[in-house]
Amino acid sequence: MVTRTLHNAAETQALGESWGQEAREGWVFGLVGDLGAGKTELVKGLARGLGIQGRVQSPTFSLVNEYSGGRLALFHLDLYRLESTEEIARAGLEEFLLSSTGVVAVEWFDRWCGGRQSILEQGWHPNRGTPGAGPRLRRVVLETVDESLRRMTYEDFGV
């Protein structure tokens, strides 16, 4: 597990941009954090790193925004309004989470599969650095320290 301190929105976006440049088809970024913790800022950077132009905003009311025109498509999901895995399944969002042809960023990821133990129970396994395999899921937790400072931890899980 990696821990970083992010000092402002620009730094959060820059980190997301570097992750977007590395991302491969099928990668899922599961974002956990309170309102205003920086989840959408990270997704804005991911989009820029994928070469996607245009405005990125949280899909709180539409549940999913799709961005194309980059190296890979970005599917941006927001599970804030959904309370259970059953509601996620009824909304048809599992297809994005399990078999996307692009990159998926999920805000309020813990609403889908909870904590680390639940991730392991669902078949995601920590990436052991297999050459060429890369992560399939990056679980990112953003915590607000003060108005601009965020503490971020992340862990990679493979298939």
Confidence class of residue 58 from pLDDT cuts 50, 70 and 90?
A: confident
Is 3 part of a structural domain of the chain? no
Asked if residue 121 has pLDDT above 80, the reply is no
pTM of the predicted protein model? 0.85
In CATH, what number is assigned to the domain containing residue 57?
3.40.50.300
Angle at 38 between CA 35 and CA 43, to 5 degrees: 115
Helix (H, G, I), strand (E, B) or coil at 158: strand
Is 35 part of a structural domain of the chain? yes
70/48 Cα distance (integer angstroms): 9
Asked if residue 129 has pLDDT above 80, the reply is no
Is 34 part of a structural domain of the chain? yes
Query: Any residues with CB less than 8 A from the CB of 8 and at least 6 apart, and which?
Result: 148
Q: Note the pLDDT of residue 68.
A: 93
65/49 Cα distance (integer angstroms): 17
Q: How does DSSP assign 53-96, residue by residue?
A: -S-----TTTSEEEE-SSSS-EEEEE-TT--SHHHHHHTT-HHH
Is 149 part of a structural domain of the chain? no
pLDDT, tens digit (0-9, with 9 covering 90-100), for 70-111: 999 999 999 888 887 788 778 887 777 666 689 999 999 888
Q: Note the pLDDT of residue 111.
A: 80
Q: Note the pLDDT of residue 140.
A: 95
How many domains does the chain divide into? 1
Please indicate whether residue 53 or residue 99 has the higher confidence score (pLDDT): 53
Is 14 part of a structural domain of the chain? yes
